[in-house]
């Protein structure tokens, strides 16, 4: 039995879950998300609790059991609280400006780098910190990863864009005489 899949999902007040044959719709205070309904599991909603049960013990059903529960739980959490990731920009001469859907960055290149976020993702700039927020966990994580990939942190001085909780392993530079 899947340890994740067998856990029930508590549905907070103000959140409605509609189960169809191919999609599951989750509506809440922050918006609406659509989760695919996987073929080898069934989702039932009773008395403010959603449960995921697999149809049989085949390998595909076992793998979809925990996945369906995790996707549904992330959707419920997204429409109630939302998700956010923080990025830090470190480096002499590096600048970040803008906000909303688009930011502009000076990252040591000969040109400024403009990044436009996809729909449903909000970008906030506070000095040298970028906050990526939204209700879809996958979109928030993907956007943060794309921004970080523009200038990954280097191991000698730590210059670049890193996650706020990320630890950069530093290397010693050249050994002087």
Q: What is the pLDDT along the chain (177 residues), one digit of tens a residue?
A: 678 888 999 999 999 999 998 999 999 999 999 999 999 999 999 999 999 999 999 999 999 999 999 999 999 999 999 999 999 999 999 999 998 999 999 999 999 999 999 999 999 999 999 999 999 999 999 999 999 999 999 999 989 999 999 999 999 888 876
Q: Is 9-80's fold the same as 83-163's?
A: yes
- List alpha helices for the chain, DSSP H: 59-80, 137-149
List residues bridging with 159 in a β-sheet.
Answer: none
CATH number of 9-80: 3.90.930.12
Q: What's the CATH fold of domain 83-163?
A: Outer Surface Protein A; domain 3 (3.90.930)
**Angle between helix 59-80 and 137-149 (nearest 10):** 90
Q: Give the closest residue to 117 by CA, choosing from 133, 96, 95.
A: 133
Residue among 118, 116, 119, 121 at smallest CA distance from 98: 116
- 133 DSSP 8-state letter: E
Domain boundaries, the chain: 9-80, 83-163
pTM of the entire structure?
0.90
């Amino acid at each position: 039995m899947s340890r994740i899949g067998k856990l029930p999902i508590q549905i907070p007040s103000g959140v409605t879950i509609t189960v169809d044959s191919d999609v599951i719709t989750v509506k809440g205070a922050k918006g609406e998300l659509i989760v695919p309904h996987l073929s080898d599991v069934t989702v039932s909603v009773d008395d403010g609790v959603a449960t995921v049960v697999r149809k049989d013990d085949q390998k595909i059903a076992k793998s979809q059991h925990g996945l369906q529960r995790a996707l549904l739980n992330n959707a419920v959490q997204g429409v109630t609280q939302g998700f956010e990731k923080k990025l830090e920009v470190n480096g002499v001469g590096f600048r970040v400006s803008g906000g909303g859907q688009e930011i502009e960055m000076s990252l040591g290149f000969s040109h400024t780098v403009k990044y436009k976020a996809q729909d449903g993702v909000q970008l906030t700039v506070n000095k040298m910190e970028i906050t990526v927020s939204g209700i879809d966990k996958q979109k928030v994580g993907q956007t943060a990863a794309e921004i970080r990939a523009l200038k990954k942190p280097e191991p000698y001085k730590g210059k670049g864009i890193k996650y706020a909780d990320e630890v950069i392993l530093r290397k010693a530079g050249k050994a002087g005489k």
